[in-house]
Amino acid sequence: MTRTIPLRYRDRMTDEQAAVYAILDEALVCHVSYILDGEPRILPTLHARVGDNLLLHGSSGSRLGLLAREYADGLPVCVAVTLIDGIVLARSAFNHSVNFRSVVVHGKARLVTDRERQQQALDAFINQLVPDRASHSRRANPQELAKTAVLELPLAEAAAKVRQDKSDFDDPEDLDLPHWAGTIPLHVTAGEPKPAPELLGAPVPDHVTGWTPTR
Amino acid sequence: MTRTIPLRYRDRMTDEQAAVYAILDEALVCHVSYILDGEPRILPTLHARVGDNLLLHGSSGSRLGLLAREYADGLPVCVAVTLIDGIVLARSAFNHSVNFRSVVVHGKARLVTDRERQQQALDAFINQLVPDRASHSRRANPQELAKTAVLELPLAEAAAKVRQDKSDFDDPEDLDLPHWAGTIPLHVTAGEPKPAPELLGAPVPDHVTGWTPTR
């Protein structure tokens, strides 16, 4: 697991499964790093965790979708999700930071070709966005599935890195400086749901009004 | 600029500078994709845009910081920032999506070695988190600067991709399905600032109480 061990701030790191899975489950998007023609690439996309695998949403016509087809035993990727919980202000510029929870996963992502497993993956992507949403929508038809690329990445090599509030914001010699220190907590909040034009005035279902960022 | 042209949804893409810069300026973190020992890597980190360059925050002892030293003419990287503006619910599973604004930058990142430019970069990182914050903190000393790695990436090859609300959430044949469709808008909001223990009860400065996610 050496790829998941950072050179610095190792105290912020954990490969405890529960911590890794909770962060993956809360994040709405991930970033996928891969190599194309010897160059680094990055793609923000949707994901979902199903058991001990991370599913990545793509399009069969996208660069990542096309590239994954060429790797029967899986395309090497590195995936990150990052949740920002606050801005940390110190008296010293150097000790400014953010509170965050992030996960990095290394591994080989394989294209899911089985249609039923593709359907289950689409359900998982939608439920990742809004719990219980898949049962409140029409499932994909064969044409839609053909346009969708699902990549499956085992969570065997995954680690979380977490920075939370600490009691010391500054080095002792800076405590008397005339600057404010502390945290600005940040949250993701949902606004009033905006219905499609045809549904103006229609009741908004509970799974929509009850949306919260935490899972 | 072919690396910045996606194969799909080209209508969502723009390389208009104002759009690219506004997204970079609003984002609190970025993800950096790079190659180490032939494998894709990813790092979430702080960034700041200064003129036509993107500055990336690192530590001189981190993998990225150490690697950048080996590339005098710049380490090939691909950087993404992604802002999530809402969850798009359609009657069909397939048409679910998120509203987002993202930027991807390709290029070679060079280590900034000049001490004064490092200082300016640290100011920029802090002001990216909280506008005007750098002037309310102690600047880094030489030891702190030595621990910091600043990478500079020209914004010559950068593109934004934006998905916003549209009036049609579904294909016409799905409009009569008994499912709700619409958007759950998402926002980043700041909670009550939490002072360092020594500052409990002290006044909180305007640049902290007035924090908003938009720039």
- In chain B, the percentage of residues whose pLDDT exceeds 90 is 89
Cα Dmax for chain A: 66
Question: B142 CB contacts (<8 Å, ≥6 apart)?
Answer: B115
The beta-strand segments (E) located in A1-122 are 13-14, 30-36, 39-45, 47-50, 53-59, 75-89, 97-111
Are the C-beta atoms of A55 and A125 separated by less than 8 Å? yes
**Residue A6 reports pLDDT greater than 80:** no
- pLDDT (tens digit per residue) in A106-138: 999 999 999 999 999 999 999 999 999 999 999
Are the C-beta atoms of B166 and B12 separated by less than 8 Å? no
Stated as kind and residue range, the H or E segment containing A148 is strand A148-154
pLDDT of res. B69: 94
Q: Which chain B residue's Cα is nearest to A123? A: B93
In whole numbers, what is the pLDDT of chain A averaged over residues? 94
Stated as kind and residue range, the H or E segment containing A189 is strand A182-190
Rounded-to-integer distance, Cα B78 and Cα B151, Å: 13
Rounded-to-integer distance, Cα A179 and Cα A23, Å: 33
Inter-chain CB proximity B130 and A184 less than 8 Å: yes
Rounded-to-integer distance, Cα B63 and Cα B67, Å: 6
**Residue A11 reports pLDDT greater than 80:** no
Inter-chain CB proximity B6 and A39 less than 8 Å: no
pLDDT of res. B13: 76
- In chain A, the percentage of residues whose pLDDT exceeds 90 is 89
Structure tokens that stand for B213 in this block:
């996610």
Query: B140-156: string of b/e by CB count within 10 Å (b at 16+)?
Result: beeebbeebbbbbbbbe
Task: Please list every residue in chain A whose beta carbon sits closer than 8 Å to the beta carbon of residue B96.
Answer: 125-126, 129, 133, 137
Task: Please list every residue in chain A whose beta carbon sits closer than 8 Å to the beta carbon of residue B76.
Answer: 39-40
Q: How confident is the model at residue B1 (pLDDT cuts 50, 70, 90)?
A: very low
pLDDT of res. A215: 81
**Cα distances (Å, whole numbers) of residue B74 to A84, B24, B53, B124, B135:** 29, 21, 13, 21, 31
ipTM score here? 0.94
Residue A204 identity: V
Other CB atoms closer than 10 Å to residue B4's CB: what's the count?
A: 18
**Nearest-by-Cβ selection for A35 from B35, B125, B141:** B35
Select the residue from B180, B187, B215 to test the A interface by mutation, using most A Cβ atoms within 10 A: B180
pTM of the model: 0.94
Q: How far is A41 from chain B (nearest CA, A)?
A: 5
Inter-chain CB proximity A41 and B33 less than 8 Å: yes
Rounded-to-integer distance, Cα B145 and Cα B128, Å: 18
Q: How confident is the model at residue B73 (pLDDT cuts 50, 70, 90)?
A: very high
